[in-house]
Each structure stands twice: as C-alpha cells, then as structure tokens.
Structure 1
Amino acid sequence: MTVTEPDVTVVVGAYEAMPYLVECLRSVEAQTLDPARIEVIAVDDGSTDGTGEHLEEFAARAATHVTVLHQANSGGPSSPRNVGLGKASGRYVFFLDADDRLAPEALERMVAMADRNGTDVVLGKVEGINRVPPKAAWVQTLERTDVFHSNIKFTLSAQKLFRRALLERHSMRFDESLFTGEDALFTMEAYLRADGVSVIADHTCYYLVGRDDGKHVTKSGSYTLRFDSARALMNLIAEMVPPGVERDKLMVRPFLVTLLPQFGPKYVGDSERVRRHKFELAKPLMDAHWTPEVAVRLKVDERLRLQLVAEERPELLLEVAEFVKSKKRPDAVVEKRGRRVYLAYPHFRTGEAGLPDSIYLAEPREAREVEGYREGAASVFLRRVTRKARRVLRAA
C-alpha cells in the first residue's frame, strides 16, 4: 500500500552545517515512526563545506522519502524553511535545524499528541548540548492549552510540530526580512491562530546543540537586528490581540527576552553613540507598547531599567546597569508589617531621580525571598500599585 500523504514533513534548512549535519540526519533515521510516514525536505542554502553533498548521500540511502533542494545563499534561515514548507506534503511539519538532533521517539510522540487532542501545534521538550535551552514551558505535560494560559510564549523557536493545514490556511511563512527573531514571529502567530497547543514535558524530543564555532544567528549580528525582531513581534501581538490583560501577558515576552538585554550589562560596555542609538530605536516601541500592566509583571530591576528607557533617562540607566552587571543584591526595605517589600536598586527614594516607590516594589516571587515578608495581601496591593503606576506612566 502506498502512503500518499506522510504524517510529518521534516524540513531541514542547512548552511555550512558540517559536521553537525551528520548527527542531525542520523537522528531522523533513528525515528521510531514508520519511515513511510516521514518525508524529509532538505534545502542546502548555498553551502561550500560539503553540506549539499552529504544531503544527497543521505537521500540516496535513507529509508524515508527525501528531497534535496539547492539554492544560492539567502543570508538567513527563513528562505530555506519557506522553500521546504512550500514543498511539504505531510499532515504536520517539523522544522529541524541542521546542527540539532531529534530524540528517537520525538516524531511518533508529537504526532500522537496532536492526533489525540486535535491540536495544531505541539511542543516537545528541549534539552541542550553545549547550549542552555528555555525551561519555562516544560513544567508539565499539557494535552491542550493556549498561549494565554501557559508559559509557551517563552519558547518561540521554530522547532515545533505544526499542523500544515493551519499554516496553509493562513498563508503563513517566515519573514525573510528578519535575520533574527523570524522564528519567534512565525511561532507566535501559530500559537495565536491555533486550535489548541500541546506540550510534551515528560519526554525529551529535541536536542539543541551548541556549535563549537559559535555560528548561531542568535549569538551574532548587530544589536539593531534585536530591535527589528522586537518591533516585529510587538506589532504582531498588537495587531492580533485587542488591548487588555491578554495582550499585556504576551508583550512581556518581547520586552523581557528581546529588548531588555540591550539595556543590561552589555549596555555598560557600549559607546555613547551606541547608547544613544539604542534609546532612539527603543523610543517608538516604549511609546506604543510599554504599559503599567506589562511593567507590574516584571521583576524590579527589569521594570526599573525599562522604565528609565521609557522616560529617556540614560544617565540614570547606566548606574542601574552597572549595579546589575556587578551581581550585587539590593537591600530590601520591608514596610506595612511585612506586606510591602521594596528592593533598593540605585536611585531608590532619591530626590534627584524622582522615581516613584512603585517601580521598586517587589512582586511576590521576589518578595518571598525576603525575611519578614507576609504572604497574603500582596494581590490586593498589587492591584493598587498597578493603578498608581498607570497614573505615573501617563504623566511621564
């Protein structure tokens, strides 16, 4: 019997991927899912290190159906993924990076999870090899959830199982104008459009491999690329989610993961020109998307730094960034019989800075680490602080 529609198409975009590609393809061959149910579309993105030749050798011997395509180098991962997606015929699509690996049962488990629950996206647990993977999403296995009721917004890489019908229905493709964060944009859109998302947290499905040569797009390139990525993701969220609590929950991700690192320890080493440029790039993003409801969901040092960016106060930010870089612990100020805990980062209660106490208020996770904190009344007080912070930000 001939299987006309595979269960899953594995799309492998490869550029200068040797020798990592060898183990990557071995992990595809080792899948417990029937080879007849797997299709591989491999796209050589103009490699000169033997990547294309190895893909052809793999196609000649593999038990599963393999198509190898060759193209001139595109400069990023979006084009080869889009080309592979355009050729895919599987019910599901999985994007496998050429230097990473699948666990043997990965595809079988993810397809079974999606089929059992009718979900459009499946996240398989990720482990790192010489790299640190995201961890927030893997707290527990979830048969069916969504982006608003889980931590999946903190893992927006493309290495997930996507129902191809979802991608085709909405004409979804990777943005080829972005050279970092293109997968975050694609995956967030899939989360928002999906009829349910599943999470496999009790079985490793994917190994994120750190290259010895350090050739990871996320580790290289100009800082301006990070602002491009943050802008694209914030705009997508704003377009797809109405103003309110749900939008604020999602906005935490680009502020925290993409924008904030530009104003941390690396900011201390930046030249004055770069610091000014970062503020210029951040201003329209802060004006459009920074809200008290986003701020109150962050830790004190995160909230403080971004608030100083929003207020365009680089002279104050530098001292805070230096404090964060030093890894010192701020003094804790406990008041109101333990119901309020402030963390005294630089400029706390100094007349010159004029920053409100609410910016320094510890959220419950931080407050619990402070001796004398009283658990209980925090949620009521947090709502009061949010209202107060809203007035402060509107006046800024």
Structure 2
Amino acid sequence: MSLAQPDVTVVVGAYEAMPYLVACLDSVEAQTLGHDRIEVIAVDDGSTDGTGEYLEEFAARTPLDVMVIRQDNSGGPGGPRNVGLGKATGRYVFFLDADDRLGPEALERMVAMADRNGTDVVLGRVEGVNRKPPTSMWGRTLERTDVFSSNIKFTLSAQKLFRRAFLERHGMRFDESLWTGEDALFTMEAYLRADGVSVIADHTCYYLVGREDGKHVTKTGSHTLRFDSARALMNLIADMVPAGARRDALMVRPFLVTLLPQFGPKFLKDSEAVRREKLALAKPLMDAHWTGEVAHRLRVHERLRLQFVASERPDLLLEVLEFMRTTKTPEPVLEKGGRRVYFAYPHFRDRATGLPDSLYLAEPREAREVSGYREVGVDQLLRRAVRKARRVLIPAA
C-alpha cells in the first residue's frame, strides 16, 4: 500500500468471471492515470472457475496496488461491492464489473472532470460489445448537470466514478437484499444527493461486454425479483422527491425499464397463474405511483399497457400485445390540421370500452414520426397566449 492517497479505488466484484476477467484487469493496468494513483480491490465472491487464482496471479505480477479478497458466495453483486467500498482509500471509487473493461484514458478523464467541476458523480460514455448499451444520455458532454436536467436516469448501473467522501458522508452502500436492481437504487440515490453530476459523452470510458454464456444477473432470475427492484426504486424516489412533476419524471424510469417488460411479449406466453401474480404484484405500485404525468411521458403502446395493468384489464392488455406481435403499424389519426396525432391501437374510440382518447394521443416526440404532423411552435403558443389574454383583459365593446 503506497503512502500517498490514490486518486481512484477500482472495485472489482468477480464471480465465475473467466476468461473475461483477463481483459478486464488488462484494461485497468493500461490506464494512463498512473499506477501510483490507482488502487484495485478485487473481491472473489466464491468462484470455482479459477477467478480467485487469476486475481492472485495478477496481484503478484502487476505494478498496480492490488488487494485480493476471497469470500464465500454472497448471492449477489451488492455484497462484493460493499466489501470493496469498505476497504477503499482512494479519493474516488469506480465499480468495474469483472466481465467488462475500461476504455483507454477512462480514469484519467473522469478524475479530471470531477476535480475540475467539484462534482460527486461522473458518467463516462458506454459502448456495448455484443450487448446493447444505454444511449440517450450521451448527446453531449456536460460539465455539471443533475438527474432532472438530463437523461442520466436511464443509466443506473454502478459503473460510474463516485467521490468516496460523498458516499461515506451519506453512509451509502448497496442493498444486499436485492438480487437485481441494487445498482439502480444506489446510483439513483447518488444522483439525488450529489452536488453535481458530470457526463463525458465524447470519449468511450466503459465497454459493456455481453457474455457468450449469457450469464448476466440482469437477464436471469424470476419475475418476482424485477418487482422487488421496481418497488425499491419507486419507494426511494417517493421518499426523496416531493410529489409533483419532478417525482413523476423520475418514476418514468422504473415504470418503463423495470415494470413494463413484465407486461411485454412474454406475458402472452405466461401461464394464467403467473399473469395473475404479476398483476397482483403490480397493483400496489400502480396505485401508489402511476399518475397522468407519468403516463403522458410514455409512447402510446407503453402507456396503454401500463394503464390496462393499473385498471386491472388483462383482457385489453392481451389484445394490445397480440396486435403488437403482428408487427402492424397502428393507423395514425391526424386532427386539428395535423397538430394532433392519435394511434389507433385496439379499442380506439370504441364506445363499449369507454377508453378516453387521451390514452391514444401521441406526444410530440412520437408524433414527429408521422407524415403530415404539424408541431406547434413557440411562436404559435405565444400567439395563442396573447389572444387568450386579450379575451380576458379587454372587455367586449
């Protein structure tokens, strides 16, 4: 252990990580930050494939300062990360998954970004290798932002640079009771508590690697684990953000990313018992957190499905899913001179169901995909406001 405090502690939680661990550790060793400025704490979580042995071999030969901890399997990724965080001495902590790898210069650029702006969290651009990465938050580099002013809520994985004093000040740790989604909970809390977040969008800092054996925690486990994850994240948001538009903007994430997939194509194949269980698990979440503001931020097919879950109408949900399975494009219905677009999914303006037109109304980002749509510009909105003000303020002759 060097006497000078390292800039970054890289925490590597590893379970059955061979052969991906080799490239992962090589990417750390290749960093330009300087070996004396990096500390590595690698936690082997009860592997049986040689992961622990390779970590010890690496520690023995690398010039990096490496601590290897071997323990019995903890049951999830949160445990090893917490162990590593508890041993960390760096000014910053970066959580690196053992089957992924860092981009060149990643740590140097992220530390410089955090030091320059005094931010508590730094996100580096992610690219996928045989795996789909998050994309919506990499539009441009942001020296300082927050979770309400950007799309960072759609990347809640743990692979970020965190200021360690900030984590310790708030006593932040991963929830080890969650098998999946523990990183989303941790990262969302960090976003909400942070004195600023930085985004590096013009340089790839992280490679998200798809394993050929498909062993990603996020792709395994029963559906009940997903509801546990959604519930935990929704409760955190509700506890930390007062009711209103800002809370609803954040609620879009667990509804869209965690809950909605449970009512996608797989729902058609689920047994009747599983369908009933999913609806029962969803009901308290829908009752507590599903609002019109959340709904209007979604695409029409997303909104419809979740509304049918909320209203306990699996029959209508199944009809929409069957329609989507045909890959047909719903007919767009343009009104108000093309300024309003509806998508005619099943039961649009069906008097028997009594569903409001608003469920089928496309928001501007979706309506722009329709030929003939005329978006209302700022100048038009201003003219409408002026006309309305005149009607109110100027008495009739």
Q: TM-score range by the shorter chain?
A: over 0.9
- Structure 2: how far apart are the matches of 1:154 and 1:218? 15
Q: 1:380 to 1:177 in 2, by over 3 A?
A: farther
Query: Structure 1 regions of 5+ residues with no counterpart?
Result: 382-396
Q: Is 1:55–2:69 an aligned residue pair?
A: no
- Structure 2: how far apart are the matches of 1:70 and 1:323? 51
The residue type paired with residue 367 of structure 2 is A
Superposition map of 1:369-384 within 5 A = 369-376=369-376
Q: SS of the counterpart of 1:138?
A: coil
Aligned residue for 2:98?
Answer: 98
How far apart are 1:306 and its partner, in Å? Answer: 0.5
- Structure 1: how far apart are the matches of 2:22 and 2:89? 25
How far apart are 1:377 and its partner, in Å? Answer: 6.4
How far apart are 1:371 and its partner, in Å? Answer: 2.1
Q: SS of the counterpart of 1:156?
A: coil
- Structure 1: how far apart are the matches of 2:295 and 2:180? 25
Q: 1:37 to 1:116 in 2, by over 3 A?
A: same
- Structure 1: how far apart are the matches of 2:181 and 2:161? 18
Superposition map of 1:10-159 within 5 A = 10-159=10-159
How far apart are 1:354 and its partner, in Å? Answer: 1.3
How far apart are 1:3 and its partner, in Å? Answer: 4.3
**Superposition RMSD on alpha carbons, in Å?**
1.3
Aligned residue for 1:242?
Answer: 242
Aligned residue for 1:298?
Answer: 298
- Structure 2: how far apart are the matches of 1:379 and 1:125? 36
- Whether the 8 Å CA contact 1:339–1:378 is kept in 2: the answer is no
The residue type paired with residue 32 of structure 1 is T
The residue type paired with residue 268 of structure 2 is V
TM-score, reference length from structure 2: 0.94
Q: Cα deviations across residues 82-124 of structure 1 (Å, max 9, x unaligned)?
A: 0000000000000000000001200000000000000000000
Aligned residue for 1:358?
Answer: 358
- Structure 2: how far apart are the matches of 1:310 and 1:369? 28
The residue type paired with residue 65 of structure 1 is D
Q: SS of the counterpart of 1:5?
A: coil
- Structure 2: how far apart are the matches of 1:247 and 1:316? 28
Aligned residue for 1:389?
Answer: none
- Structure 2: how far apart are the matches of 1:333 and 1:379? 25
How far apart are 1:4 and its partner, in Å? Answer: 2.4
The residue type paired with residue 174 of structure 2 is F
Aligned residue for 2:394?
Answer: none
Aligned residue for 2:391?
Answer: none
Q: Is 1:269–2:269 an aligned residue pair?
A: yes
Q: Cα deviations across residues 38-70 of structure 1 (Å, max 9, x unaligned)?
A: 000000000011000000011111111100001
Query: Structure 2 regions of 5+ residues with no counterpart?
Result: 382-397
Q: Indicate the structure (1 or 2) with the bigger Cα radius of gyration.
A: 2
The residue type paired with residue 64 of structure 1 is L
How far apart are 1:330 and its partner, in Å? Answer: 0.2
How far apart are 1:370 and its partner, in Å? Answer: 1.4
- Structure 1: how far apart are the matches of 2:220 and 2:380? 44
Superposition map of 1:178-257 within 5 A = 178-257=178-257
In percent, how many aligned pairs have the same letter? 79
Q: Cα deviations across residues 121-143 of structure 1 (Å, max 9, x unaligned)?
A: 00000001110100011111000
The residue type paired with residue 345 of structure 1 is Y
How far apart are 1:322 and its partner, in Å? Answer: 1.6
Aligned residue for 1:283?
Answer: 283
Q: SS of the counterpart of 1:136?
A: coil
- Structure 1: how far apart are the matches of 2:144 and 2:326? 42
TM-score, reference length from structure 1: 0.94
Q: SS of the counterpart of 1:17?
A: coil
- Whether the 8 Å CA contact 1:41–1:88 is kept in 2: the answer is yes
How far apart are 1:380 and its partner, in Å? Answer: 9.7
How far apart are 1:352 and its partner, in Å? Answer: 2.0
- Structure 2: how far apart are the matches of 1:85 and 1:122? 17
Runs of 4+ displaced beyond 3 Å:
377-381
Q: Is 1:307–2:295 an aligned residue pair?
A: no
